Amino acid sequence: MLKTLKGKISVVYLGLVLLVVIIGTISGINLYYLSKTIDGLMIDNYKSIKAVNLMNEEIDNQNNAILTYIYQDRQAGIKQFNQDSSAFYDWYNVEANNITEKNEGKYVEEIKNAYVDFTTSFSSLQEIPVSDNSSMLYYYKTKIKPNFDHIKDLLNGLAQLNETAMFEKKTNATMDAKNSMYAILIITFIAAIFGFIISMVFTNRFLKPMEYLISSIRKVKEGDLDQIISITTDDELGKLATEFNNMIKRLKQYEESQLGKIMDERNKTLSIVKSISDPLLVLNSDYKIILLNSAAEELFGIEEKNAVNKHFLLSVKDEKLFEEINSIVDSNFVNNKIEQIKYSNKYYDVTISPIENYKSEISDILLVFHNITEFKELDQVKDDFISIISHEFKTPLTSIMMGTSIILEEKIGTINEKQKSTLLAIEEEGEKLTELVNELIELTKIESGKEVYNFKCCSMFGIVENTIKPLYNIASDKGVNLSHSVDEDLPCVYADPEKISWVLNNLITNALKYTDAGDDISISASIDNNMMQISVKDTGVGIPKEYKDKIFDKFFHTKNGDDFEIKGTGLGLAVVKEIVEAHGGKVWCESDLDVGSNFMFTLPICH
Ligand code: ADP
């Protein structure tokens, strides 16, 4: 029974129940003795007092009967005396059988002797002649009356004895009651303390292992899996402790196996990262380097052991790159690529990728530096090639165009209509080729940085007015409504007016190419964020969404269905981009198919 917690608790409760039973029994016994004392008080002494009182009455009656015998009627006196005598004996017997007090027996014995003398003296009185009244009276006074008074004294003494005993018993009963009350109070108090101590001791003994268990569970919750609970009892708590220990063992095994898996995965990831030939860095949210591969060590001339857990800027001393990373992280990785960073004669594109934790929060940032030097070099070769070819094309092309023009003007002889139309076709294609060659030369010049910019503070209003003027006629010939709303009072821009005029011309010419009669082309300018923003907006064919970012690439043309017709060289916007960026501005396009396009670019304003 004591092996289980239930048994132990039951034993404690049984002990407490036993205590209550003991207190109850003691109280019962006390009450029993008390009631017995009261019984004695009520029955024995009361019986004696009653018997004595009645004996008193009877003896008084007998005395009266003697006086009746002397003075009045002898027969009636004798009869009365005898009757009272038997009644006296009845009560005497009651008292004789109810001796409860010390000396009570002595009194009873004396009363008996005195009464015998009393009755004997009455018999002696009857022997005195009837006529001798004075002798009878004398006999009564000297013999019977003293005896009668003696019996009365004895009876009063006996009554007094019983009354005293009764009072004594009452006092005793009161004392007993008080004592019982105190005894019960003391026992109850002791029992309460005892019960309290037992409950406390056992409750503590039962709860201690539980507290131990709770603190162990808490430690396990905090990750300490080395908790072993040493509760060795056979009860439920012991079993719980055993199960708990088993659970911890399993948990530990599981953690070890998971840890092993995680370590494997980590090592795998590390080897993959290390084997990547592109330089790679992983930063935490405080921009401290937490991982880097040997290509990154080599690129930035750092060692892993010195760089890890240090701020990015301490190892990669490139504040511009750091600012760019910061702005990409702040803008929630909207644009996660930084193009063309030059480190020790090599060009890199940097891809910045967020690494999310299990709560989908960005915990780390992955930076991969793609080495684009080879592409850059190839690009350079291509640019050089194009530059050479364009220049090489330019002179013979000029000769061809001049020759064609001379033949067409029939300066060296007449030509027939067929020859003329063929020559006109040659001239048209030659013009296209010339435009291409010119734009190629322009682009390669700008890209190579050979283009000289003549930056100055100039009015945008003036540039727009000058650029738009020659285009009004072409627009009106096409039925397109060309207008501008550039304010004359706008601040000046810091730009090369010729190059910006070229940019505007190109954008307006494009708009004219992709609009029809009835369409509108409007030019406007406003100040935004310390930059001037110029917009060339048309209501023409628009650009499909998928091409919106590609139109600024070299040789790019959109394809609008089957009636697709190449209307230009595909170089104009590439040149526009180069020129605007050389001014420190940006160019972009917003367009909806069949609604129109809005080409915008920014330029710094003069301070
Ligand atoms: P192109 O000399 O061929 O016009 P651009 O570089 O100037 O070359 O333009 C590239 C492409 O962008 C064009 O082929 C055309 O598809 C598209 N484009 C440029 N401007 C507009 C415009 N205003 N409306 C619609 N498409 C345009």
Question: Rounded to the nearest 5 degrees, what angle is found at the Cα of 371, between the Cα atoms of 368 and 377?
Answer: 160
In a domain, 215, yes or no: no
d(CA 300, CA 280): 11
What pLDDT is attached to residue 509? 94
CB of residue 596 inside a 6 A radius of ligand 1? no
Task: Specify the DSSP element, H or E, that contains 424.
Answer: helix 417-447
Q: How far apart are the first and last CA of the chain?
A: 98
DSSP 3-state assignment of 276?
Answer: coil
Residue 245 pLDDT > 60, yes or no?
Answer: yes
Cα 316 to Cα 111, 253, 291, 320, 371: the distances in Å are: 136, 42, 13, 11, 16
- Say if strands 520-528 and 481-484 run parallel, antiparallel, or are unpaired: parallel
Whether the CB-CB separation of 601 and 528 falls below 8 Å is answered with: no
> Which residue type sits at 245?
N
Residues 547 and 531 in one domain: yes
- DSSP lists the bridge partners of residue 352 as 367
In a domain, 262, yes or no: yes
Task: Specify the DSSP element, H or E, that contains 401.
Answer: helix 373-408
pLDDT tens digits for 301-338? 899 888 999 999 998 888 888 988 888 888 877 668 88
CB of residue 560 inside a 6 A radius of ligand 1? no
Residues 306 and 158 in one domain: no
Which CATH number fits the domain that encloses residue 437?
1.10.287.130
pLDDT tens digits for 294-307? 899 988 889 988 89
CB of residue 543 inside a 6 A radius of ligand 1? yes
In a domain, 214, yes or no: no
Segment among 23-32, 34-43, 470-479 with least mean pLDDT: 34-43
d(CA 572, CA 552): 8
The last residue of one of the domains, among 315, 350, 371, is 371
> Cα 339 vs. chain centroid, distance in angstroms?
44
Residue 564 pLDDT > 50, yes or no?
Answer: no
Residue 113 pLDDT > 90, yes or no?
Answer: yes
> Which residue type sits at 197?
I
Residues 189 and 245 in one domain: no
Residues 241 and 268 in one domain: yes
Q: Which atom from ligand 1 is nearest to the alpha carbon of 511? A: 23
Q: 302-312 b/e with 16+ CB inside 10 Å = b?
A: beeeebeeeeb
- DSSP lists the bridge partners of residue 425 as none
CB of residue 551 inside a 6 A radius of ligand 1? yes
- Alpha helix stretches (DSSP H) within 284-372: 294-300, 304-307, 312-315, 319-330
Residues 329 and 384 in one domain: no
Residue 184 pLDDT > 70, yes or no?
Answer: yes
> Which residue type sits at 386?
I
Q: In a mutational test of the pocket of ligand 1, which residue from 513, 553, 559, 598 has the highest number of ligand atoms less than 8 Å from its CB?
A: 513
In a domain, 415, yes or no: yes
Q: Which atom from ligand 1 is nearest to the alpha carbon of 552? A: 6
Residues 364 and 390 in one domain: no
- DSSP lists the bridge partners of residue 525 as 534
Residues 399 and 509 in one domain: no
Averaging pLDDT over each range in 40-54, 252-266, 299-313, which range is the top one? 299-313
d(CA 227, CA 216): 6
Residues 525 and 397 in one domain: no
* Token reading at 5: 């917690």
Residue with tokens 């003391």: 186
CB of residue 77 inside a 6 A radius of ligand 1? no
pLDDT tens digits for 120-149? 999 999 999 888 888 889 999 999 999 999
- For residue 282, give the nearest of 296, 268, 271, 301 by alpha carbon: 296
Residue with tokens 């990015």: 312
Question: Rounded to the nearest 5 degrees, what angle is found at the Cα of 307, between the Cα atoms of 306 and 311?
Answer: 130
What pLDDT is attached to residue 275? 84
Task: Specify the DSSP element, H or E, that contains 393.
Answer: helix 373-408
Tell me the mean pLDDT in the region 434-460. 85
In a domain, 220, yes or no: no
- For residue 507, give the nearest of 454, 575, 563 by alpha carbon: 575
What is the value of pTM for the model shown? 0.47
d(CA 149, CA 60): 10
In a domain, 207, yes or no: no
Which CATH number fits the domain that encloses residue 174?
1.20.120
Whether the CB-CB separation of 505 and 467 falls below 8 Å is answered with: yes
DSSP string, 535-583: EEEE-SS---GGGTTTTTSTT-----STT----S-S-HHHHHHHHHHHT
**Spacing, Cα 142 to ligand 1 middle (Å):** 173
* Token reading at 287: 């921009």
The last residue of one of the domains, among 323, 343, 371, is 371
**Spacing, Cα 8 to ligand 1 middle (Å):** 94
What pLDDT is attached to residue 560? 52
Percent of the chain residues topping a pLDDT of 70: 96
- DSSP secondary structure code for residue 421 in this structure: H
At 40, the pLDDT band (50, 70, 90 cuts) reads low
Exposed/middle/buried for 458, CB within 10 Å: 0-12, 13-18, 19+? buried
Q: Tell me which residue range forms the domain holding 423.
A: 377-447
Nearest CA to ligand 1 atom 8: 570
Residue with tokens 């697709």: 564
Cα 407 to Cα 79, 400, 402, 414, 426: the distances in Å are: 201, 10, 9, 8, 12
The three-state (H, E, C) secondary structure of 96-107, written as one string: HCCCCCCCHHHH
Whether the CB-CB separation of 387 and 441 falls below 8 Å is answered with: yes
Residues 418 and 537 in one domain: no
What pLDDT is attached to residue 1? 53
Whether the CB-CB separation of 254 and 270 falls below 8 Å is answered with: no
Classify 483 in phi/psi space as left (phi over 0), alpha (psi -120 to 50) or beta: beta
In a domain, 574, yes or no: yes
Whether the CB-CB separation of 500 and 454 falls below 8 Å is answered with: no
**Spacing, Cα 204 to ligand 1 middle (Å):** 89
DSSP 3-state assignment of 351?
Answer: strand
pLDDT tens digits for 203-232? 887 778 788 888 888 888 877 878 777 777
CB of residue 515 inside a 6 A radius of ligand 1? no
Which CATH number fits the domain that encloses residue 473?
3.30.565.10
DSSP 3-state assignment of 607?
Answer: coil
CB of residue 597 inside a 6 A radius of ligand 1? yes
Whether the CB-CB separation of 85 and 62 falls below 8 Å is answered with: yes
Nearest CA to ligand 1 atom 20: 510
Cα 590 to Cα 6, 12, 170, 471: the distances in Å are: 81, 87, 120, 23
At 561, the pLDDT band (50, 70, 90 cuts) reads very low
CB of residue 508 inside a 6 A radius of ligand 1? no
d(CA 237, CA 204): 14
At 247, the pLDDT band (50, 70, 90 cuts) reads confident
Residues 125 and 268 in one domain: no
> Which residue type sits at 508?
I
Count of alpha carbons within 13 Å of 115, Cβ hemisphere only? 26
Residues 461 and 600 in one domain: yes
Q: Which atom from ligand 1 is nearest to the alpha carbon of 542? A: 25
Residues 434 and 473 in one domain: no
The last residue of one of the domains, among 371, 390, 421, is 371
> Which residue type sits at 295?
A
At 565, the pLDDT band (50, 70, 90 cuts) reads low
Our count of domains for the chain comes to 5
Q: 565-594 b/e with 16+ CB inside 10 Å = b?
A: eeebbbbbbbbbbbbbebbebebebebeee
In a domain, 213, yes or no: no
Tell me the mean pLDDT in the region 471-478. 94
